[in-house]
Structure 1
Amino acid sequence: MARGINKVILIGNLGKDPELRQLPSGVAVVNITLATSSSWRDKATGENKDHTEWHNVVFFNKLAEIVGKYLKKGAKVYVEGSLRTRKWQDKNGGDRYTTEIVASDMQMLDSRNSGGGSSGAADDYGSSGYGHSAGGSAAHTVRNESAAPASAADYNDGGAIEDDIPF
């Protein structure tokens, strides 16, 4: 039986400060919006064009704690994860859906002194994976052993994760 691939890799900037919260099960969770931008030259007008795409990203467990503690609005970050669509019912009983990236890996890309990301706070996280490149920037990679909570019922940010696969 063939297996599918569900993998997302993004490098972008946080749209706002992350807010760490706890699910009733005790699992830490952080939701962020991540901006990625592309630019091109319009062939018809010769004008430079830009487009910013906003991505919803959710972090769980230790990864959520690190994001909540060290990242700030504007921080440049590498995120790796998978797409997940959740379904819930709104106040009027209508079905609503949201698609988000469930992060399994994150790397802070800002330099320590840039003020956009770790702002030096990563020093007290220890030496596991935190290093300097020749360009003076700092990188800190964190993997989530369990990217999502144990069950869909544990994550109820507007609705449960849909487990039925339509094919």
Structure 2
Amino acid sequence: MLNVVVLMGRLVADPELRHTPNDVAVTTIRIAVDRAYSKSGADKQTDFIDVTAWRQTAEFVSRYFTKGSMIAVQGSLHVDNYTDRDGNKRTRYDVQADNVSFCGSKRESGTGGYEGGNSYGGGSSSYSNSGANTYQQPSAPATAPAPAAPAYSSGDTGDFQALPDDDDLPF
């Protein structure tokens, strides 16, 4: 079975960090995502998706993201069935965030200064909400560069031709 959700959109409001009685950090954010509903993709509708982040991910989101920030979320779909005050059965869906990443630039969202590239949940500096739940700082570069590996050779190329230089490609 597979339960993986990947979303990219903008925060609808500033995140608010809360703590459970056991002092576990949690924040629930709502992101606006576009969904094409025609074959051509020209007609789009905006969906508003609730996302819950826990522990260090919640602290990271509440510290570095603000209303209008572009965010990428990878997590799983969580279904909550409950009965409301009137006795009606209800279902609520939200995404439990495992990884979050910056997307785009702050210049796009109007807050100035940041040019994307950092990723929390993958990439050079990474954070994943699984396992020990600890932020991992990227390792410092080595003082001396490692010797270059020999060029990869796949052996006999048979009927394949060598590709022209990149400057000769038509695109």
Q: Determine which structure has the larger strand proportion and give its number.
A: 1
8 Å contact kept, 1:78–1:107:
yes
Tell me which residue corresponds to 1:18: 15
**5+ residue gaps, structure 2:** 121-126, 132-171
Q: Residue 9 and residue 41 in structure 1: after superposition, are their counterparts in 2 closer, same or farther (change >3 A)?
A: closer
Equivalent in the alignment of 1:36: 33
> Partner residue of 2:51?
57
1:95 alignment partner, one of 81, 85, 89:
89
Percentage of pairs with the same residue = 28
* Equivalent residue, structure 1, for 2:118: 139
Aligned-residue offset at 1:144: 0.9
Count of aligned pairs = 127
**Other-structure match for 2:62:** 68
Q: Which entry has the higher C-alpha Rg, 1 or 2? A: 2
Unaligned runs of 5+ in 1: 121-135, 147-167
CA deviations 1:87-141 (Å, max 9, x no partner) are 3343334433211110101111143555557966xxxxxxxxxxxxxxx433231
Mapped to 1, the partners of 2:19 and 2:30 lie a distance apart of: 19
Kept in 1, the 8 Å contact 2:70–2:109? The answer is no
Secondary structure at the aligned position of 2:43 is classed as strand
For the aligned residues, what is the CA RMSD?
A: 3.0
